[in-house]
Chain A
């Protein structure tokens, strides 16, 4: 570990009625690094993400953002501290417009939410900022539709646009291309590539697709049955017998 870690998972674990969904996972992440988390279904990847972004509270271990312990913070406090999370199942504000979805994220980051006696429509810089994130996510043309009216691929893009609008230090993507068509997925990957260019950012990505992993990963972490079983450079991790077994297994499922 050359530089100080931007995010640390220390002996992190959670049990659901005796079943250890995440079991003593220790791992440190660094700015400028994109880490892909792989593992078969049920390995605990999403649960681990939920522990880090605060949707679940761990039964063991600590989470550090830089030097600051955030283990007991609420999800909103973690979001303000710089942890941004995109979700595996599309998780938007369905009856609000695409623009309003992103505007809400901008408004939250700028701390304008509690303002009571100013007209929201008068804060045009929020709208302008929101539009710029939508343009980046190639959603400018559908800004005025309700989020629920978008096709699945566009909803995934909106999910990424929301994350961009939060301007976090830690970007967490949970299968951002899941269920997307082949011609749509590259837009998302391009966006993630863009995010990665800024070396002050730390990117965590759960992904199954082999080509995605090869194209983006600086480092691969493998989870299996809730435990961290491998961690290293992509070329090294891919070679491991255990990884080939569990990971190529899921890879084959993906193809089918």
Chain B
């Protein structure tokens, strides 16, 4: 679509929405690239790493719901398979890269096989039944994770150590006294290596997805979303394409799970498998804009910052308005979910196609 609009070449307004989106994404990319130096405190590191992993997770979900029109509730299941595979291997076989490769590989393989099975068995049926099947599969996986506590640690999850290279005690470049060399006042230790492992892997996965949506296959996915019956009638085997993209998205989600497990040194239902995460990524994709990829980036950043910093902001607000009646109560940090909810409603109302979708649509209309 964008290609066609650009080809007209007629004088028209600057594509403000597009510039705004690309500008924001560029800023986010820069902030993430230099995150260890810009925000060296521990909590900010957590936030930055979570943003990296969730961009991959949400974007892979966007491949399904935004590009192809497949509604699945099993996406965190695939994420969890990658995470648990890695976690169990690290716990059982010790902290080595081999464990990560073996466990993570097994998790990814399991995700692929499961996705192919679910896809071939049920992508023929109506969308609502498919959604139900994925919901059932995800529930079974949650039950399994809590029941097989011998391997999974049950509700408590697993804590384990990761390879020494990623430990904060490891100096990447040691100076004469044997201490880690500092760059901009930040010690170049294993924690930095770990962050850049997560960052560069996420970047690579996101780049792969950008490539997919711009490929001939990406065009077919959009055609299926727009008119499944006609896509079939002009010669595309819809079930095959749907199953393929379902498998691709599952594999990418499982890879994101590996990153999450390695970064956190902990894997449990809360952080890798729960329906809360599923709802989070659904909201992220809707808020950012379905079928845009960039929407996932902006959505993740907004959601993550809101869930980490809204409380702090509200505490500040409550203090500042202490002398005014009612307002401090409303701004009490305990009510942060209320304000988050209000924020979502406003966003959906003013940006019906999501932030990125609505901004880009505006350009398309102005360009005509």
Contacts and interface: CB of A to CB of B under 8 A. Distances in A.
Interface of A: 53, 55, 74-77, 79-80, 85, 87, 91-97, 99-100, 103-105, 107-109, 112-121, 123, 143-146, 162, 166
B211 A117 contact: yes
B219 A100 contact: yes
A77 B236 CA distance: 8
A113 B236 contact: yes
Interface in B332-368: 368
B234 A108 contact: yes
Contacts of B323: none
B219 A76 contact: no
Given A76-B233, A144-B4, 5 more contacts: A74-B232, A76-B232, A76-B238, A79-B235, A113-B236
B4 A143 contact: yes
20 contacts: A53-B233, A75-B232, A80-B235, A85-B233, A92-B227, A94-B226, A94-B227, A100-B219, A104-B219, A105-B234, A107-B219, A116-B211, A116-B215, A117-B211, A118-B215, A119-B211, A119-B214, A119-B215, A121-B3, A144-B8
Given A108-B235, A166-B234, A115 B217 contact: yes
Contacts of A123: 216
Contacts of A112: 216
B223 A93 contact: yes
Contacts of A75: 229, 232-233
A52 to B, nearest CB: 12
Contacts of A166: 234-235
A109 B227 contact: no
A60 to B, nearest CB: 23
Nearest to B217: A116
A79 B4 contact: no
A48 to B, nearest CB: 16
* Residue of A53, A107, A112 with highest tally of chain B CB at under 10 A: A107
B179 interface: no
Interface residues of B, number: 32
Contact of A97 (B4, B231, B235): B4
Contacts of A120: 214-216, 218-219
Contacts of A115: 215-217
Nearest to A93: B226
Interface of B: 1, 3-5, 7-8, 211-212, 214-220, 222-223, 226-227, 229-238, 241, 244, 368
Nearest to A85: B233
Contacts of B219: 100, 103-104, 107, 113, 120
B231 A104 contact: yes
Given A55-B229, A114-B217, A116-B212, A100 B4 contact: yes
A95 B218 contact: no
Contacts of A53: 233
Given A76-B238, A166-B235, A97 B215 contact: no
A145 B1 CA distance: 9
Nearest to B8: A144
Given A76-B237, A91-B227, A95-B226, A107 B232 contact: no
A119 B217 CA distance: 10
A113 B220 contact: yes
A145 B367 CA distance: 11
A113 B237 CA distance: 10
Contacts of A79: 232-235
A145 B8 CA distance: 10
B119 to A, nearest CB: 15
Contacts of B7: 144
A122 to B, nearest CB: 9
Contacts of B234: 76, 79, 104-105, 108, 162, 166
B312 to A, nearest CB: 41
A121 to B, nearest CB: 5
Contacts of B222: 93, 96
